Structure 1
Amino acid sequence: MLLPVESKQIAFCSYNEDESTLHLYFHTGDIVAYPYVDKEDYQSVLDATNRYDTLMKVTQKGQYTDEIRSDGPETGVPAWQDI
C-alpha cells in the first residue's frame, strides 16, 4: 500500500513487513529503501499528522539505505508512477 506524503520531495512511502523495509518514493521517480525499520516506527508514520517530519526522524536513526533507481527498464523495478 502506497501511503501519500505531503512533501515537495517525497510522493509516497510504503512498508514491507516481511523484510522490515521502508520505501520512499520521490517525485523524481527515485525509490530509496530503508531496511531494518521497526513496525512500530512505520506505525508512527501512519499515525502522524505530519508524515514528512516523522519519516525524517525514522530515516535518520542511522539505518542503512539502498537507493533503487527506477529510471529504466534494465533495473527491473517499476517506477512508482506505474504502480
Structure 2
Amino acid sequence: MSVVRTVAYFTFAAILIGGFFTDVEARRKVLQGRRTITREYYSQSVLPPWAKLLLIGIAILFGAAIVYGILWKFLINDLQ
C-alpha cells in the first residue's frame, strides 16, 4: 500500500470520526432595551460519552497492535 493511499485513508477516518465529536458551546448577547442578556447555547454530540471512550479505547488497542506488529517484524525476526 502506498504512502499516499495510507494518508488518504487516515485523513478520511479522522474526518469521519471528527464529525461525531461536535460538542458546541456558543454565547450570544441579546440586547433588550437598556440591559444586555447573555444566552448560552449547548449542542450535544451524536455519540454519548461512553461511546466516545469505547471508540478511543478500541483505537488505542488497534494502534498498539500495529506498533507491536511493526516491532515484531523488524526487531524480533531480525534477531532470529
Does the alignment reach a TM-score above 0.5?
no
Q: Relative contact order (C-alpha < 8 Å, sep 6+): which is higher?
A: 1
TM range (shorter): under 0.3
Greater fraction strand: 1
Structure 1 or 2: larger helix share?
Answer: 2
- Look at both structures and tell me which one has the larger radius of gyration over its CA atoms: 2
**TM-score, structure 2 normalization:** 0.22
TM-score (norm 1): 0.21
